[in-house]
Structure 1
Amino acid sequence: MSHIGSAADMYRHLAQECEMAMALVDVLFEEQSCLIRFETDRLQALALKKEAMMLELEKRYLNNLQMARAEGYSPDFEGLARWVDNLSHREKRLNSTFETLKTTLQQAKHLNEANGNIVAEQMAGLQERISILTAAAIGNTGASPAANTYGPQGALNKSGNAGTTPRAVIR
């Protein structure tokens, strides 16, 4: 494969990766919107889509490293960057495309971390609510946490005092 051919091929390859990375960012924004709105029914489909996209991008990255190594560059990010820089003398759009890809992947990383933080905050809030409900159930009867709480089907599960109803504080 000549350097001219490989430069043009690499440009097309990186342009496709940019499109995939931008689509991943779109999925992450959609995921974030669903998390904020508690639209949990869509999250599983988005998680599967996100995972497939991330795996494909990783596969392409590893393939790029192999191609760089075959051209005599180190099989790491620095070697890949040097290879792209060398190829950019033949294909002028290559450096800007590579920079766009790096920037977009960095944005995806930050969004994914932000979404993880949202999930962690929501889980902490749910745990707090569970603790409040458990404490309220124990405080009402002095009995076990299962006393005077809602059962698995949503029905009132009364044990202990028949006239006591559960209390809960939900923020």
Structure 2
Amino acid sequence: MEHIDTILTYDVLSYLTYEGVTLCEQLELNARQEGSDLKPYLRRMHLVVTAIREFLQAIDTYNKVTHLNEDDRAHLRQLQLQISEMSDLRCLFVLLLRRFNPSIHSKQYLQDLVVTNHILLLILDSSAKLGGSQSIRLSEHITQYDFNLIANH
């Protein structure tokens, strides 16, 4: 844990979230211009989703390690509680799922998006069990997904 505790931080995840929102906006703007090459934007968006997935998977993996010291466990708990309060991160995945377009996005991107969102929901659920003061109710968050819109893709 001592090798990655400087990377597994709220600031890094906030930056990745910001990049995801910015890239989504850039992709939307470029998609409206005829002849615009969307591949670089699609690739970067996929990389942001993958980076967030690996960040969240690392938290999940380290939570399962039995030989962590109490400082490392406290760091992970604090990070989980901070993630549960990151409304921008939750909204990013709602946005990306709603903006998924099978004519420009790959199935692999959709798979990574769904898996990453699932890991986030699991972390939010475990954060609620940790007793976060501002833990969101998962049922309220899930209502933001328009499953009919997603199913039509």
Normalised by the size of structure 1, how large is the TM-score?
A: 0.44
Identify which of structures 1 and 2 has the higher relative contact order when contacts are C-alpha pairs closer than 8 Å and 6+ apart.
Answer: 2
Normalised by the size of structure 2, how large is the TM-score?
A: 0.48
Larger radius of gyration: 1
